[in-house]
């Protein structure tokens, strides 16, 4: 009886095994951020993310960004990165050569990609870096030239 019970248990485990395994019967697993990076982003940013992709030719108006440069990448918040990947470089006042991927990748895929880029640059968002970058680009007036609102009103 004990043997019968054991064999019944084993048989049910074999039968139910594949069904009870999580994800075995469900939809195919979502690709990881690295897999998506190595299919889509690799074209311009290169397999290591250093901007040395195949499409980085001398005649491009801008070079693809080196995603491993932590000092440079610290200027972008997660929100900036998500917007750039979703809607392209033009949406973040960067080069429109970076195309929009919002229709191609899901919101979860893009969230994972942002985390992957953070891993590549080994950096966190630094507001001071953003300020420095904007000043270098001439998109933000230097502090000495900034208008004093009080001066304006006193005139």
Partner 1 sequence: MSLFRLLLSRTGAAPLGGTALLALLGASSPAWSTERGRDIFFARGCAQCHTIQGPEAKVPVTERHKLKGPTLWYAGSKFRPGYLGRWLAKPQAFRGVRWGTMDKGETSHPALPPAEAKEVASFIEGLKDPEMPTGVVPGWGDKLPRQVLRRARILFQKEQPCYACHMVHIRKTVYRQAVEVGGFTGPHLIDAGLRLRPDFVVALLKSPERYSPNGRMPRYGNQAFTPLSEQDLIALAAYIATLK
Burial 8-31 (b: 16+ CB within 10 A, else e): eeeeeeeeeeeeeeeeeeeeeeee
In whole angstroms, the minimum distance from the beta carbon of 125 to partner 1 comes to 23
For residues 12 and 121, give the distance between their C-alpha atoms in angstroms, rounded to a whole number: 50
92 binds partner 1 (CB under 8 A): no
In whole angstroms, the minimum distance from the beta carbon of 34 to partner 1 comes to 10
Nearer to partner 1, 20 or 55 (CB): 55
Sign of CA dihedral 51, 56, 57, 60: negative
For residues 28 and 10, give the distance between their C-alpha atoms in angstroms, rounded to a whole number: 28
90 binds partner 1 (CB under 8 A): yes
25 binds partner 1 (CB under 8 A): no
Among 50, 51, 94, 102, binds partner 1 (CB under 8 A): 102
Q: What is the DSSP letter of 76?
A: -
x/- mask, partner 1, residues 38-77, rule CB under 8 A, reads xxx-xxx--x-----xxx-x-xx-----------------
For residues 149 and 112, give the distance between their C-alpha atoms in angstroms, rounded to a whole number: 43
12 binds partner 1 (CB under 8 A): no
Q: Given the rule CB under 8 A, which residues bind partner 1?
A: 28, 31, 35-36, 38-40, 42-44, 47, 53-55, 57, 59-60, 86-88, 90, 96-97, 99-104
């Amino acid at each position: 009886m004990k043997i019968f019970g054991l064999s019944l248990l084993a048989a049910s485990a074999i039968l139910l095994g594949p069904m009870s395994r999580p994800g075995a019967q469900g939809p195919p697993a979502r690709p990881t951020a690295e897999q998506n990076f190595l299919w889509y982003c690799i074209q311009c940013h290169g397999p290591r993310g250093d901007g040395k992709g195949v499409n980085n030719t001398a005649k491009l108006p801008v070079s693809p960004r080196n995603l491993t440069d932590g000092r440079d990448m610290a200027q972008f918040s997660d929100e900036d990165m998500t917007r750039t990947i979703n809607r392209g470089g033009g949406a973040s006042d960067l080069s429109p050569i970076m195309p929009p991927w919002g229709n191609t990748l899901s919101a979860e895929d893009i969230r994972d990609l942002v985390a992957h880029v953070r891993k590549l640059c080994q950096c966190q968002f630094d507001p001071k870096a953003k300020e420095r970058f904007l000043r270098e680009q001439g998109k933000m007036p230097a502090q000495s030239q900034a208008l004093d609102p009080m001066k304006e009103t006193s005139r």
